[in-house]
Amino acid sequence: MSLGCLAPAQPPASTLQLTTHDTANRVGSTLLTCEPTGGTHPHRDKACAVLTGVDGDFSRINARHQACTLIYAPVDVTAIGTWHGKPVTYKTTYANRCEADRDSDGVFAF
């Protein structure tokens, strides 16, 4: 019985380790892969679509329209990895979790 020729699986075009750290010392971390979409991000399809729309440039993400409280509870976020072979290192601080979710259009919503 022949199994035939199976092509080796291609690695994802983009792989990013995303982390969040807030003032309550809660740390979140998730892996996001795109093309094909995968990893442990709970909203990976949406996150990949957002990043594809800005060619992996986090600074170009458009915040969605959503009201957030003015409570200051800073959240540090990072993204480290590659986007279509280009290295990615992104770090910023949002005023609170709501702003992190809104201003990243859900990329940091995990």
Give the domains, in start order, of the chain with CATH numbers: 14-103 (3.30.350.10)
For residue 107, give both structure tokens: 């990329």
Tens-digit pLDDT profile for the chain (110 aa)? Answer: 445 555 567 789 999 999 999 999 999 999 999 999 999 999 999 999 999 999 999 999 999 899 999 999 999 999 999 999 999 999 999 999 999 999 999 999 99
Using CA atoms, how far apart are residues 31 and 109, in angstroms rounded to an integer? 12
pLDDT value, residue 10: 79
Tell me, what DSSP letter sits at residue 25? Answer: -
pLDDT at 3: 53
Task: Give Rg (Cα) of the chain.
Answer: 16
The burial of 66, by beta-carbon neighbours within 10 Å (0-12 exposed, 13-18 middle, 19 or more buried), is given as exposed
Residue of 39, 17, 28, 52 lying closest to 109 (CA atoms): 28
Q: Read off the pTM.
A: 0.87
The single-letter code of the amino acid at 51 is L
Predicted local distance difference test score (pLDDT) of residue 1: 47
Count Cα atoms within 13 angstroms, Cβ side, for 63.
Answer: 11
